[in-house]
């Protein structure tokens, strides 16, 4: 049984819904909405978000907590959703890239990423945007060092880091209402 399960999970991650004895029911507040779903204990939060809930904006790249592409906010703090089990999000609040923008406008960090060309292939971008948005939530006027620390876990193999820096400084200025930013 374990062998069969392993073989299946290697091909495509196990998604809940079957309601087997091996799954558990979870309640997670995702982007402000309470979502109730089944998941196996081994299912990572990243897998549940993408597979079960269809929120594919969160990207899985390394799946080992080494690249931060899968960054989401748990109770407001950036975490690697690949290194957290979905079961550990039970009862917590999760914000993904889909929940960052207001209904009618992009988040200022998203706008600044577009305006300052802070992405190329875009695969690492949702994670970077989440980290930069979380930083500005706690620090309205970050210096370069604070931004470097906030994005220190992110791998961008297109090398967009300098533009991410410019965009985040610009977004911070805009959010402060500083027109010259």
Partner 1 sequence: MRNFTWGQAQTVMDAAAAASVTVADAMLSPPNTNGQAGASIVKAGGIDLLDLLKEKLLTADRITSLKELPGLDVITRTEDGGLRIGAAVTLANLARSPLVLRHYPALANATAHAASPQIRNVATLGGNLLQRPRCWYFRAAEYRCLRKGGGHCFAIHGENQYHAIFDNQLCAIVHPSTAATVLVALGAIVECADAMGAARRVRLEDFLVPPDEDVHRENSLRAQEILTAIELPALNPGTRMVHLKQGETDSFDWPLADVAIVFDLDAERRCKRAAVILGAAAPVPHRAKAAEAILLGRIIDEEAAKDAAHAALADATPLHKNGYKLPLFETLIRRAILRAAADLHA
Site for partner 1, rule CB under 8 A? 2-3, 5-6, 9, 14, 22, 24, 40-42, 44, 63-65, 68, 71, 74, 77-80, 83-85, 87-88, 131, 148-150, 152-154
Q: Are 102 and 96 in contact (CB under 8 A)?
A: no
Nearer to partner 1, 3 or 179 (CB): 3
Smallest gap from Cβ 146 to partner 1, in A, equals: 11
Strand 71-74, strand 77-80: pairing: antiparallel
46 φ, ψ (degrees, to nearest 5): -60, -45
Q: Which two tokens stand for residue 32?
A: 């402000």
Nearer to partner 1, 27 or 148 (CB): 148
Q: Which two tokens stand for residue 84?
A: 């957290």
Nearer to partner 1, 40 or 59 (CB): 40
Alpha helices, DSSP H only, in 102-150? 108-115, 125-138, 144-150
Smallest gap from Cβ 11 to partner 1, in A, equals: 14
């Amino acid at each position: 049984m374990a062998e069969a399960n392993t073989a299946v999970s290697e091909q495509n991650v196990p998604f809940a819904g079957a309601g087997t004895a091996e799954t558990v029911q979870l309640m997670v507040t995702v982007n402000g909405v309470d979502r109730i779903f089944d998941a196996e204990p081994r299912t990572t939060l990243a897998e549940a978000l993408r597979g079960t809930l269809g929120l594919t904006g969160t990207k899985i790249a390394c799946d080992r907590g080494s690249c931060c592409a899968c960054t989401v906010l748990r109770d407001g703090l950036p975490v690697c959703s690949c290194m957290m089990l979905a079961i550990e999000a039970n009862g917590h609040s999760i914000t993904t890239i889909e929940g960052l923008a207001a209904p009618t406008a992009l988040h200022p960090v998203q706008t600044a990423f577009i305006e300052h060309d802070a992405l190329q292939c875009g695969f690492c971008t949702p994670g970077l945007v989440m980290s930069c948005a979380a930083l500005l939530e706690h620090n309205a006027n970050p210096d370069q060092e604070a931004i470097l620390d906030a994005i220190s876990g992110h791998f961008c193999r297109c090398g967009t880091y300098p533009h991410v820096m410019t965009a985040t400084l610009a977004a911070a200025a805009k959010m402060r209402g500083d027109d010259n930013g």
